[in-house]
Amino acid sequence: CLCFLSPRGTTHRFLRTPKMTAPPNLTHAAPQHQRFLVLFDFDETIINENSDDAVVRALPGQQLPEWLRNSYREGHYNEYMQKVLVYMAEQGVSEDSIHSAVEKIPPTPGLLYLFQYLQSHEQDFELAVVSDANMYVIETWLERAGVRHLFRKIFTNPASFDVTGRLVLLPFHSHSCCRCPDNLCKQVILREYLVGRQKERGGAPFQRVFYIGDGANDICPSLALGPRDTAFPRRDFPMHRLLLEMQQSQAAMFKANIVPWVSGEDIVDCLKKIMEER
């Protein structure tokens, strides 16, 4: 079980306090007309490392051979990870070993505190994950953290164990975006989700959209945000650096507010101010 990261400056441990539990009769859809949509990346946003690195540590030697590492091609990471998982199965890495490695991944500082805040205001916030990781890893970690029930939807690459015990990874979709890897475009997902949810909500759009990320592939969905929305780039990570460059050279392209964060508590501070505007 995991602990919440609440008061600033406190040292927190990952493995020790009760999990957050879903209120009775709560489905992932929760209230019908939440005002705000919060989208999370996963690797190095919710968790404090790349989940694939944690999976690889389940290998007996805890690292990949050089020939396999060198097989990666730019823009084809999903294809590369498929080969990695085949190799791991050939080395006898079990589902239990991968499951255990994933559960040990630490959360990013303050993110569990952010989840605690969002759960306490579930009538206002709808949550979803948009990630180029995979479904097995994300669901395993969120379940372990006791926060899976907070998320209405997880958009990521399908992954599950087959009858031979191998974790099989597939691409999420195909698309025509030139900015994104061929297996997943987060902006396509965001736009389709907003259109679909507005129909399901009887034509009512979200008042604001918040996007929390860290990586270069979090720029593309952020470009779809409007002037009332907010992009939360993790400070000094690629998303933050690229947004700073964009503000200087292509300011008109980016319409949303930008709030860099170091801890989930920074995001909570911003959300509290927005909540006070009601």
Binding-site positions for substrate read 52, 132
Residue corresponding to tokens 């969905």: 221
State the binding site: 41, 43, 52, 132, 214
Please report the sign of the dihedral spanned by the C-alpha atoms of residue 152, residue 146, residue 263, residue 56: negative
179 CB neighbour count, 10 Å cutoff: 12
127 CB neighbour count, 10 Å cutoff: 24
State the binding site for Mg(2+): 41, 43, 214
Distance CA 223, CA 271 (A): 20
- What DSSP designation does 107 have? B
Structure tokens belonging to residue 142: 């969120």
Intra-chain end-to-end CA distance of the chain, in Å: 35
∠ at Cα 268 (149, 241), nearest 5°?
A: 105
DSSP track, 256-273:
SEE--BSSHHHHHHHHHH
Name the β-bridge partners of 134.
157
What amino acid positions are annotated as catalytic residues? 41, 43
36-40 sheet: strands from edge to edge: 151-157, 125-134, 36-40, 208-213, 230-233, 257-258
Distance CA 4, CA 120 (A): 13
Instruction: Return the H-helix or E-strand segment holding 118.
Output: helix 111-120
Backbone angles phi, psi at 185, to 5 degrees: -120, 115
